[in-house]
């Protein structure tokens, strides 16, 4: 989707904006459309890789979202958040 397109632009650091759309990506994991679920999972995996490689990340806002997702009724959301 558009998030991964923006993430591929070298001059845009999407990690800075991740807290703004992270919850939405998690919500897409429970979409009824398989392609949307796969795209969200792929984007989340890529962002996790980028976070691991980044030297500066503001974890506070993301941790709050991950904790909420750990309590989701959706199993995939919980497992991905962990």
pLDDT value at 3 more than 90 = no
Cβ atoms of 41 and 29 within 8 Å: the answer is yes
Cβ atoms of 69 and 78 within 8 Å: the answer is yes
pLDDT of residue 70: 97
Q: How far is CA 73 from CA 4, 18, 20, 25, 81, in A?
A: 26, 23, 22, 16, 12
pLDDT of residue 51: 93
**Residue bearing the bigger pLDDT, 34 or 13:** 34
pLDDT value at 11 more than 90 = no
Could you read off the pLDDT of 28-75 as tens digits, one per residue? 999 999 999 999 999 999 999 999 999 888 899 999 999 999 999 999
Phi, psi at 34, each rounded to 5°? -60, -40
């Amino acid at each position: 989707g558009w998030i991964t397109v923006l993430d591929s632009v070298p001059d845009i650091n999407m990690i800075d904006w991740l807290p703004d759309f992270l919850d939405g990506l998690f919500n897409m994991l429970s979409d009824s459309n398989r392609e949307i679920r796969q795209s969200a999972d792929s984007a989340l995996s890529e962002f996790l890789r980028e976070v691991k490689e980044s030297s500066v990340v503001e974890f506070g806002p993301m941790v709050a979202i991950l904790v909420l997702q750990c309590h989701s009724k959706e199993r995939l959301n919980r497992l991905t958040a962990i």
